[in-house]
């Protein structure tokens, strides 16, 4: 509907008259055309993205995307496990364990260093 309105406006003789008079103005013609098209399109688009229907659609698409990603990850995980290969979740779990072990090792190293720095009589 808005596209038809814009096309009819672009084809109108008044549009060409305005464009001819715009040629003598300080702004380049291409910029004036861009501004005019932006005004014709911008209003309807902005009102659409602020509507409740838009937010409902975005929420549904986000939910569907999340479900699709989860299903694909599940299938790929099962296929990888079928051929005895680790999946992304397995690698993430091992990384988390390694991070905990590194933290614990650093804490123990600091504790040993602190004990070595104590004088003999305080041990």
Residue 11 DSSP class:
H
- The answer to whether position 90 is within a domain reads no
Domain count, the chain: 1
What is residue 116's predicted lDDT score, i.e. its pLDDT?
86
- The answer to whether position 5 is within a domain reads yes
- DSSP secondary structure string for all residues of 34-69: HHHHHHHHHHHHHHHHTSHHHHHHHHHHHHHHHHHH
Confidence of residue 10 (pLDDT cuts 50, 70, 90): low
Domain of 24 in residue numbering reads as 1-50
If you average pLDDT over residues 9-27, what whole number do you get? 66
- The answer to whether position 41 is within a domain reads yes
pLDDT (tens digit per residue) in 86-118? 999 999 999 999 999 999 999 999 999 998 887
Looking at the predicted structure, is the pLDDT value of residue 58 above 90? yes
What is residue 18's predicted lDDT score, i.e. its pLDDT?
67
- The answer to whether position 15 is within a domain reads yes
3-state class (DSSP) for residue 25: coil
The contacts of residue 89 (CB under 8 Å, 6+ apart) are: 73, 77
Selected residue with higher pLDDT from 49 and 21: 49
- The answer to whether position 43 is within a domain reads yes
């Amino acid at each position: 509907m808005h596209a038809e309105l814009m096309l009819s406006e672009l084809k109108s003789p008044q549009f060409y008259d305005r464009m001819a008079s715009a040629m003598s103005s300080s702004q380049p013609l291409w910029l004036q055309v861009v501004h005019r098209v932006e005004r014709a399109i911008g209003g309807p688009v902005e009102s659409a993205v602020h509507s409740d229907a838009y937010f409902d659609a975005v929420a549904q698409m986000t939910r569907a995307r999340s479900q699709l990603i989860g299903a694909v990850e599940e299938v790929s995980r099962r296929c990888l496990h079928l051929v005895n290969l680790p999946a992304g979740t397995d690698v993430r779990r091992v990384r988390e364990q390694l991070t905990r072990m590194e933290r614990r090792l650093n804490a123990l190293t600091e504790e040993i260093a602190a004990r070595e720095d104590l004088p003999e009589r305080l041990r």
